[in-house]
Structure 1
Amino acid sequence: MSVTAAGEGPWLDDAAGRLVRPFTVSNGRTRPTIALDLLSQVMATGADTLGYLGPEHAQVLDLCRAPVSVAEIAAQLRLPAVVTKVLLADLVDCGALTAKPPAFHHNPTDRSLLEAVLDGLRRQL
């Protein structure tokens, strides 16, 4: 069994997985202070953060050197989307990140668009 040190990334155990519960990362908060969609793009501003931020906040900033989606960050951190959104909102609130809503050129619930996506997925399988 190996456990990663605190400064080296998320606390993981080879057999048990994450040793810190996801909602501990957000101090039990389940609602971000800003509206973020899974397809929203976030990017680091380069501004210094004021106050204490946890190691996950530092990981987020490292992942956001270029524009990246909320969903991608959640996947990289291996955290639920709602916890990731809380972390991102913390960083937007302190000026360390900027967030842009997804830019849909089409209606995201347009039936023909959804059918085209489904057809593409079927071809991949």
Structure 2
Amino acid sequence: MTGRRGGRPLVPAYLSTGGVARPSRAHLERLSVLTGSGEPAPAELPAAQTALLEELEHGSLTVLEASALLRLPVSAVLVLAADLLDRHLVLARPPIPPARRFDPDLLKRVADGLRDLKHR
């Protein structure tokens, strides 16, 4: 969304969201994964939303990745994505939670059990 050297946007980020400051969906996060729904985009879709949909044609992206590609603040992409979700043009899923740390005692018992089976 930049048009000048140095990366400064031609249009301020708040204008890319139509002046909307907060997303309509509170569950979207920076690491939420966005995917295009495959539905055809209406012709009157704002340019920033069209750009987001075009980026999603190549595969799924997190909100953070989309923000970097579009050169818009994360807050603006959250607003754009929420509106596209409301229009059923984008699907979103929560980020994958970090894996829990394994239990070292369980790992030791499994290894001991495998050794016992080998020696029988």
Please show how residues 1-125 of structure 1 align to structure 2 within 5 Å.
Answer: 10=1, 12-14=3-5, 17-34=8-25, 35-50=27-42, 52-65=44-57, 66-106=59-99
TM-score (norm 1): 0.70
Structure 1 residue 56: Cα displacement: 1.3
**Gap regions ≥5 residues in structure 2:** 102-120
Q: Quick check: 1:41–1:69 contact (8 Å CA) kept in 2?
A: yes
Choose between structure 1 and 2 for higher RCO, CA contacts under 8 A separated by at least 6 residues. 2
Q: Quick check: 2:2–2:71 contact (8 Å CA) kept in 1?
A: no
Q: How many residues align?
A: 99
Structure 1 residues 11 and 78, CA gap change in structure 2 (3 angstroms): closer
In structure 2, the residue corresponding to 1:99 is in which secondary structure?
A: strand
Structure 1 residue 103: Cα displacement: 1.6
Residue 116 of structure 2 is matched in structure 1 by none
Q: Bigger CA drift: 91-100 or 58-67?
A: 58-67
Q: Deviations over 1:56-114 (max 9, x none)?
A: 1111111112111010000001111010011111111111100000121436xx9xxxx
In structure 2, the residue corresponding to 1:12 is in which secondary structure?
A: coil
Structure 1 residue 21: Cα displacement: 0.7
TM-score (norm 2): 0.73
**Gap regions ≥5 residues in structure 1:** 1-9, 111-125
Cα RMSD of the aligned pairs, angstroms, is: 2.0
Identity of aligned residues (%): 27
Structure 1 residues 15 and 105, CA gap change in structure 2 (3 angstroms): closer
Runs of 4+ in 1 over 3 A off after TM superposition: none
